[in-house]
Structure 1
């Protein structure tokens, strides 16, 4: 697609972009919902519960089919934060990591408040969605990293020993900034990941994942996205484990039929670089979205994260219409996701018409306050 900031978008380009934004967000959520109920199970236990093929359909988690976890919740707030950053740019305040940090603090409030505070108009509409006020397996790193208002940075990160994949799993929205150069997408994802996951492996995996999504959202191939991520990583201190994991994923594609054992081997200890490798591998070898997602979650590792990361890639690659309709129909929070995805697409393609020096839409600023 190759659109740049300020570019004129044709109707076909807008429709394609909206489909990829929807696909990325819904794909992340569907993968999360599919895999999360398997997180505590070994492969043998998965097969005992769901048959020799493992899990092939949504199952119950958190009291319902299609329930999402903190991975999807935080991905929603990533999108919200990016929109708010664009709106706040009109004021001359342009520091997206700060706007993302504020968005993540709004998520943190959903983990300890009973429900939305209607008096806090500056929180915007997403923070008033009551269904988000639910603790869905929040990771210790995210809760600790967002426990106060001090923002972690790559130079002074929160949880500097944390190598988990949760920051990467909320980073797909950064790749949807198709008007940005890839190195800026990488940097923003890194800075926002360091707010909760301070080990270089974790925040560089988040950056690499965003770069791959970025390539897909611009209509490029998955392999091209991985190669670009490898190129951009090469100059970063501490990048070798992430680069090795990506190379490992590419090599595994040539090793015959995909199996759960190969996915488990790629996942390793369940750290960020291993789950990134799983997502790339499953997106490359999956015959379709359903097959790729089922391959990603049927193993003894962190199935929810693997599903979320893989779903984000497949959704960005193929767009919304490639996702299994039956799964989307049962997906928790789908109406919210569609509204947010469409708002993001509108902001990215028509932002100057919604707010700016020439005038602003009061309704838009009520939804995404500058405060």
Structure 2
């Protein structure tokens, strides 16, 4: 695999996360009034952090990447332990389903039981969040040449905190698409949908991204995994540059950091790390470790 593209997956994810972090939860109108079009890493904003600060999206992707490297492969028990340790350290941003599942794991439940119960107890509308797809891309780098193993690991990784079938299938679709980009497939999302035969909700939302039969004005930046994938894959696969894709999605506001992170992984795999704006990378937290982990994942 091309080293520039593998580095692009993790660095793109972190760039989208950090670019969207200051304007998370804002509306497009409020973003425009306060900042104009956001094209730079901003300080302060929603979480009051320095420019280039990443959130739980990148933090949890780093937990997964470090586990893959240290364990020599995917070990869900080790990943769950790392997630709990990260959660116990008191991150400033953590999703509701993630927090509920990790709290139960910390209190002694197995991750399988914890996430299943959280899902069963969550009403429709709050049971299929994007908290597992945002962290999934390290698996695509590590397992790009083994689709069966990549699907199994992606679905299992999701189930540590997000057991809804839309979430598990969403992680697999995203990672199959990233893997396809990394190995040079011409139509990676179409291949991913054909390989996985995902749930109808995902297929109905993502098939128009393949065909181009989609009105971009209908895209949404929310915490719902289907919205996140539809928006991120449309912009990630159709934009003419990583900068254009990420500027467009984060300025939608809403769940700007997570939609930015997923879009960033896609454009990173598509264009490579060298196509990411250097001015963004210069301010990005953890850029050296992200690049080093990508190299180790791709060569493990």
Give the distance between the partners of 2:82 and 2:283, measured in 1 at CA. 27
4+ residue runs over 4 A deviation: none
Match of residue 63 from structure 2? 77
- Count, aligned residues: 288
Please state if 1:152 is matched with 2:115.
Answer: no
CA-atom RMSD, angstroms?
2.3
Describe the shift of the 1:268–1:302 C-alpha distance in structure 2 as closer, same or farther (beyond 3 A): closer
Instruction: Please say if residues 68 and 332 of structure 1, whose CA atoms lie closer than 8 Å, have aligned partners that are also in contact.
Output: yes
- Mapped to 2, the partners of 1:139 and 1:227 lie a distance apart of 30
Structure 1 stretches lacking a partner, 5+ long: 1-12, 88-94, 112-134, 349-371
Any residues of structure 2 matched to 1:202-241 within 5 Å, and which?
Answer: 202-221=167-186, 224-234=187-197, 239-241=199-201
1:58-207 matches, within 5 Å, as: 58-61=41-44, 62-86=48-72, 96-111=75-90, 135-147=91-103, 148=106, 149-153=108-112, 157-160=116-119, 161=122, 162-178=127-143, 180-207=145-172
SS in structure 2 at match of 1:59? coil
SS in 2 for 1:176: helix
Matched, 1:44 2:29: yes
Q: Per residue, is there more helix in 1 or in 2? A: 2
The DSSP-based 3-state class of the residue aligned with 2:69 is helix
User: Contact 2:222–2:228 (CA<8 Å) still a contact in 1?
Assistant: no
Counterpart in the other structure of 2:18: 33
Q: CA deviation at 1:154?
A: 9.2
Higher relative contact order (CA 8 A, sep 6+): 2
Q: CA deviation at 1:329?
A: 0.1
Equivalent runs, 1:315-330 vs 2, <5 Å: 315-330=268-283
Partner of 2:244: 291
Distance 1:339 1:99, change over 3 A: same
Note if contact 1:35-1:307 (Cα within 8 Å) is conserved in structure 2. Answer: yes
Q: CA deviation at 1:56?
A: 1.7
Residue in 2 that maps onto 1:351: none
Structure 1 distance, partners of 2:286, 2:190, is: 34
What corresponds to 1:55 in structure 2?
38
Contact 2:66 2:293 in 1 (8 A): yes
- Give the match for residue 4 of structure 1: none
Unaligned runs of 5+ in 2: none
2:129 is paired with a residue whose SS is: coil
Contact 1:153 1:191 (8 Å CA) reproduced: no
